[in-house]
Amino acid sequence: MRLHIVKCIICLASIKCISAAGPFFLQLNTTEHVIGNDLLNITIGPTYATKLFYKNKDLIVNAQGHYLSYRSFLNWTSARIYSQTDDSLDVVFEAPEGDFHWVIYHDLAGAYQYFVNKALPVLGEFRSLVRLDNTTFFNGNTTSKEGPLPTLAEIASGTKVQDETWQLPNGTYISEYDWADFIRDQEYYGVYGNEFGSWYIYPGKDEYNGDHLKQELLVHRKSRTGDVVLLNVLHRTYFMASSNDCFEVGKTWGPWLWYLNNGSTEDASNRAKQENQNWPYTLFNSSAYQSRGSVFGTLNIPDGRVAANAAVFLGDNNPNETTLDMGRFNYYTTYADSTGYFRFDNMRTGVYAIQAWSNGPPIGDLSATYLQNNIQVNRNESTDLSSQDFVTSARTVVRKIGDFDRKALGFRYGGAPREHALVEKCPANLTFVVGVSKVENRYSAQSSVGSWTVSFNLTASEVPKNSSAVLSVSLAGYSGGTSDVSVNERVVGMLGGSSILADPSLYRSATTAGEWHYFEFGVGDGTLQAGKNEATFKVMKSSRLGGFMWDALMLEWSGYP
Ligand SMILES: *[C@@H]1O[C@H](CO)[C@@H](O)[C@H](O)[C@H]1NC(C)=O
Ligand SMILES: *[C@@H]1O[C@H](CO)[C@@H](O)[C@H](O)[C@H]1NC(C)=O
Ligand SMILES: *[C@@H]1O[C@H](CO)[C@@H](O)[C@H](O)[C@H]1NC(C)=O
Ligand SMILES: *[C@@H]1O[C@H](CO)[C@@H](O)[C@H](O)[C@H]1NC(C)=O
Ligand SMILES: *[C@@H]1O[C@H](CO)[C@@H](O)[C@H](O)[C@H]1NC(C)=O
Ligand SMILES: *[C@@H]1O[C@H](CO)[C@@H](O)[C@H](O)[C@H]1NC(C)=O
Ligand SMILES: *[C@@H]1O[C@H](CO)[C@@H](O)[C@H](O)[C@H]1NC(C)=O
Ligand SMILES: *[C@@H]1O[C@H](CO)[C@@H](O)[C@H](O)[C@H]1NC(C)=O
Ligand SMILES: *[C@@H]1O[C@H](CO)[C@@H](O)[C@H](O)[C@H]1NC(C)=O
Ligand SMILES: *[C@@H]1O[C@H](CO)[C@@H](O)[C@H](O)[C@H]1NC(C)=O
Ligand SMILES: *[C@@H]1O[C@H](CO)[C@@H](O)[C@H](O)[C@H]1NC(C)=O
Ligand SMILES: *[C@@H]1O[C@H](CO)[C@@H](O)[C@H](O)[C@H]1NC(C)=O
């Protein structure tokens, strides 16, 4: 049975109806179906979709093909046409966990795809992906990395040092994690060769878990088979300490576009711009999806400044998880402008909490997080939060290293291209003299057992009568280990250990962030004195590529005035 849309075309003088091979759905037997159009077609089996024909060429050949998986593979128990319009077909493949839809247009090389949850278990990782022929596809392009994927031959020349990571004879590393990136920064990403490209374009990204700093693997070379892999990880775990979520029945991811082209990154970029303009998609008529509103406002700091460039996040109301950990519902991220003004458009209606924090200069000394619950977003309405103030301690800064932005930027290797074991280049022992040591000797992460000391002088007039202070430590990531924190040899606290969950950032090539942690340690009156002072971080316990990734350190007088 071959179902397709009959199109009428006008041929010269006569009007005749032909059945152009527009979008079609063909059942081969109970477990094999073909969907496609004039431009492409793909054969969908019980688990994998293979034989992806585009311009008469099979783009999968012996690779694994297209599938969805979590701890297990989704197996399709039935397939049918869900809906159709004049120029599109929505074909649904049903699995016990949920329904996967392919929306095929007559003139589009690719398909819009979406997944509707029925019974996904509590999970961290859930993904849609395609594993492609490696002679047709061999380059990757993401927002921050471009070029050939490592070949199996290169991988084979190395020694495996950890999961999907190899050390080559010349000492350098190849790691699949080098191809991870910040997911909300991707307008499009994909793999391509000389004649073909395969891309994911996911405007909106409402359903992705996490905040501005959620990172994930996007493309890679499968080391076991040599396949070139393009991933759309719908719910993600990489670089996070905790990510398991339980989903409502009906929770929908997408639609996003799986787009095929001639391998032009520029064309993929243009297509992404077009998709962004068309989002939210009218092709998806779910009333929950179409029901959207806006939120806007201005953020201020009580000292009179505006929260320029602040990171602003809309997520779970009355949150019981960090912004990175959240993942059950819908999430929106933006940044305030230079006047502290922010605006979210096309948000799904509902009740949210808004959170905001410094994203670095010009408010890099702001350690506080703004939180406001019960933000109601109504259909076709704009919620005006007008002018909102951060709640701050109003303490006086004594010294500060780095800017609060939940990122290791401003430290050596912070924000460097992703590279395995970069943290091993950070010394075990280090003294950093504020105002004297060069900024490049301020390393982004402390991993080995040893001591890092921050040394600074205070003048007598700088030290108040009550010299009690607060030492704030903001970590951009934490991959295990413990460290004693002391000021002038008096222990003021401890970092790490069982009090916080470790994330895999440092051993998975991350250089900017993992999970953010913030601590304040009290420094007793009389501890800080005129003359030389030292704050010391003494790593007592660590593991290879474990440790602490810095965001910022700040000392403030707390008894003042
Ligand atoms: C359906 O067709 C495919 C391809 O020809 C074949 O491998 C498969 O065994 C068939 N399945 C059934 C249930 O007949
Ligand atoms: C899929 O495309 C290939 C190559 O263009 C073609 O040979 C094949 O007949 C198409 N399959 C269907 C079911 O239309
Ligand atoms: C899907 O089928 C494969 C084998 O055919 C099986 O290993 C896998 O567990 C199935 N997935 C689920 C979720 O049951
Ligand atoms: C969406 O489209 C389908 C198929 O055309 C139709 O059955 C359904 O009622 C529509 N839903 C809404 C909310 O318009
Ligand atoms: C990816 O491709 C686009 C479009 O050609 C290009 O502008 C961008 O620089 C590429 N990405 C990187 C990290 O080079
Ligand atoms: C492509 O995959 C094949 C296995 O199918 C493998 O032998 C080959 O080395 C891979 N090519 C590259 C460039 O990795
Ligand atoms: C190390 O070897 C790899 C694989 O041959 C090569 O691509 C890379 O440029 C080399 N790096 C250095 C620093 O020699
Ligand atoms: C690929 O497609 C784009 C957009 O259609 C076109 O501008 C470009 O010339 C094509 N490139 C090649 C190599 O065919
Ligand atoms: C937060 O609350 C939700 C809903 O009760 C629950 O499912 C989730 O496990 C909680 N998260 C944590 C980290 O406790
Ligand atoms: C909301 O706006 C959209 C388009 O802007 C319109 O189609 C829809 O009818 C409006 N809905 C309501 C409830 O006003
Ligand atoms: C770090 O300093 C300690 C104490 O002085 C010393 O025992 C240790 O060997 C040093 N580590 C390295 C790698 O130099
Ligand atoms: C701090 O003061 C000591 C003397 O107490 C002096 O030797 C040192 O050079 C000063 N350091 C800086 C950075 O000013």
Upper half-sphere CA count for residue 259 (Cβ side, 13 Å):
26
In a shared domain, residues 345 and 459: no
Mean pLDDT value of segment 65-79: 97
Residue 80 has pLDDT above 70, yes or no: yes
**Res 2: pLDDT:** 53
- Quote the ligand 3 centre to 72 CA distance (angstroms): 6
Answer whether 346 contacts ligand 10 (Cβ < 6 A): no
Q: What's the CA gap between 332 and 313, in Å, rounded? A: 6
Better-scored residue on pLDDT, 403 or 10: 403
Nearest CA to ligand 11 atom 7: 450
**Candidates 152, 176, 221: which one to mutate for ligand 6, based on the most atoms within 8 Å of Cβ?**
152
Q: In the structure encoding, which two tokens stand for residue 252, read together?
A: 């929908």
DSSP states of 114-183: EEEESSPPSBS-EEEEEEE-TTT--EEE-SS-EEEPPPHHHHHTSEEEETTEEE-TTS-EEEGGGGEEEG
> Is there a domain that residue 56 lies in?
yes
* Residue 172 Cβ contacting ligand 7 at under 6 Å: yes
CATH of the domain at 541: 2.60.120.260
Q: Flag whether 416 is in a domain.
A: yes
Per-residue pLDDT tens digits for 151-203? 999 999 999 999 999 999 999 999 999 999 999 999 999 999 999 999 999 99
| Structural domain ending residue among the three candidates 286, 308, 324 | 286
Q: Which atom of ligand 11 is nearest to the CA of 427?
A: 13
Instruction: Let me know if residue 169 belongs to a domain.
Output: yes
3-state DSSP helix/strand/coil percent for the chain, to nearest 5? 10, 45, 45
pLDDT tens per residue across span 105-153: 999 999 999 999 999 999 999 999 999 999 999 999 999 999 999 999 9
Query: What is the per-residue pLDDT for 281?
Result: 97
Neighbours of 313 (CB within 10 A): 26
Q: Which amino acid is at 319?
A: P
Judged against a pLDDT cut of 50, whether residue 9 lies above it is answered with no
Residue 43 CB neighbours (<10 A): 20
Report yes or no: 402 and 551 within 8 Å, Cβ to Cβ: yes
Q: Which atom belonging to ligand 2 lies closest to the Cα atom of 51?
A: 1
The answer to whether residue 561 scores a pLDDT higher than 60 is no
To test ligand 8's pocket by mutation, which of 55, 264, 265, 266 has the most ligand atoms within 8 angstroms of CB?
264
Domain count, the chain: 3
Span 409-429, mean pLDDT?
97
Q: Which CATH number belongs to the domain containing residue 385 in this structure? A: 2.60.40.10
Residues 244 and 96 placed together within one structural domain of the fold:
yes
Confidence tier at 4 by pLDDT (50, 70, 90) = low
Say whether both 205 and 339 belong to one domain: no
Residue 388 has pLDDT above 80, yes or no: yes
Instruction: Identify whether residues 62 and 18 lie together within a single domain.
Output: yes
Q: Cα(36) to centroid of ligand 8, in Å?
A: 22
Residue 488 is assigned to a structural domain of this protein: yes
Q: What is the pLDDT at residue 486?
A: 98
CA 22 to ligand 2 center in whole angstroms: 12
pLDDT in tens, 465-479: 999 999 999 999 999
287 lines ligand 4 (CB under 6 A): yes
If you average pLDDT over every residue of the chain, what do you get? 95
pLDDT tens digits, 11-32:
333 333 334 468 999 999 999 9
Cβ–ligand 2 contact at 143 (below 6 Å): no
Same domain? For 271 and 413 the reply is: no
Res. 412 pLDDT band, cuts 50 70 90: very high
* Ligand 7 atom nearest 171 alpha carbon: 1
Residues 437 and 376 placed together within one structural domain of the fold: no
For 493-518, the pLDDT digits (tens) are 999 998 899 999 999 999 999 999 99
Residue 88 confidence (pLDDT) above 80 = yes
State whether 145 and 177 are in the same domain: yes
Confidence of residue 6 (pLDDT cuts 50, 70, 90): very low
Choice from 120, 123, 321, 515 to test ligand 9 binding pocket (greatest atom count within 8 A of CB): 321
Same domain, 314 and 459: no
Ligand 12 and 435: CB distance under 6 A:
yes
What's the mean pLDDT in 75-79?
98
Q: Does residue 57 register a pLDDT over 50?
A: yes
- Does position 294 have pLDDT exceeding 50, yes or no? yes
pLDDT digit string (tens) for 236-257? 999 999 999 999 999 999 999 9
Higher pLDDT, 279 or 2: 279
End-of-domain residue from the set 231, 258, 286: 286
Report the 3 state secondary structure along 298-348.
EEECCCCCECCCCEEEEECCCCCCCCCCCCCCCCEEEECCCCCEEEEEEEE
What single string gives the DSSP state of each residue in 44-96? E-SS-EEEEEETTEESSTTS-EEEEESSSB----EEEEEEE-SSEEEEEEEET
Confidence of residue 559 (pLDDT cuts 50, 70, 90): confident
Q: Mark whether 101 and 233 lie in a shared domain.
A: yes
253, 286, 319: which is the final residue of a domain? 286
Residues 6+ apart with CB under 8 A from 438: none
Specify if 358 maps to a domain. yes
Q: Which ligand does the CA of 119 lie closest to? A: 3
| pLDDT at residue 499, rounded to an integer | 85
Question: What's the domain range around 88?
Answer: 6-286
- Is the domain of 319 the same as that of 443? no
Both 281 and 302 in one domain: the answer is no
319 with 422, same domain?
no
In a domain, 329, yes or no: yes
Residue 1 lies in a domain: no
What pLDDT is attached to residue 434? 95
Atom of ligand 10 at shortest range from CA of 380: 1
What are the pocket residues of ligand 11 if the criterion is a CB atom closer than 6 Å to any ligand atom? 428-429, 450
Assigned domain for 177 exists: yes
